[in-house]
């Protein structure tokens, strides 16, 4: 049995949306991740804050990077060999959590406070862009001035 993938962007009116479609695929793949839990808050008119619950992690155990318009947070805890556990219910855990960023989103800060990793982002308001496209005419050199053609009646007197 062959499965056919239905694309939402296969219309001839939607040009150049290949990257957008790949981004949606990445989002769908990343949505299955459950650890660590997180919140996303609106901060002011153009700010966002992502807060991850990372209890037990130090700033040395965490990394925050931007990779190809993805915000990637990784956590890795080392095993402390000096401890002797009688019961170990809290496992040293590693994780990777990714967020796809829209064009223009910038990370402006990151802090770790009481087991919460806060990542502040800004979303600058886009400036409207209007551009006029020149219409070229075949057979007319670019930048040439229009020419006037005088048509005189041909008088053949017999």
Residue 30 dihedral angles phi and psi, to the nearest 5°:
-80, -20
Q: Which of 72, 80, 74, 46 is nearest to 61 (CA)?
A: 74
Q: Report the alpha-carbon distance of residue 10 to residue 31 in Å, rounded.
A: 24
Q: Which domains does the chain have, with CATH numbers?
A: 34-122 (2.60.40.790)
Does the pLDDT of residue 5 top 60, yes or no?
Answer: no
More confident residue, 146 or 133: 133
Asked whether residue 44 carries a pLDDT value surpassing 80, the answer given is yes
Residue 55 above 60 pLDDT?
A: yes
What mean pLDDT comes out for the span 136-150? 71
Predicted pLDDT of residue 29: 61
Q: How much is the mean pLDDT over the chain?
A: 80
Regarding pTM above 0.85, the answer is no
pLDDT at 30: 55
pLDDT band at 41; cut points 50, 70, 90: very high
């Amino acid at each position: 049995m062959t499965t056919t993938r239905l694309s939402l962007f296969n219309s001839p009116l939607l040009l150049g949306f290949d990257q957008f479609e790949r981004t949606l695929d990445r989002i769908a793949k990343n949505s299955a991740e459950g650890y660590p839990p997180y919140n996303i808050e609106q901060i002011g008119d153009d700010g966002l804050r992502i807060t991850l619950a990372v209890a037990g992690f130090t700033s040395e155990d965490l990394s925050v990077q931007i990779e190809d318009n993805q915000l990637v947070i990784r956590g890795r805890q080392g095993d402390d060999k000096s401890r002797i556990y009688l019961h170990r219910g809290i496992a040293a855990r590693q994780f990777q959590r990714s967020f796809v960023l829209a064009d223009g989103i910038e990370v402006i800060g990151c802090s770790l406070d009481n087991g919460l990793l806060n990542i502040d982002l800004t979303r600058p308001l886009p400036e409207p862009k209007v551009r006029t496209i020149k219409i070229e005419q075949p057979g007319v050199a670019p930048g040439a001035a229009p020419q006037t053609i005088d048509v005189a009646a041909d008088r053949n007197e017999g």
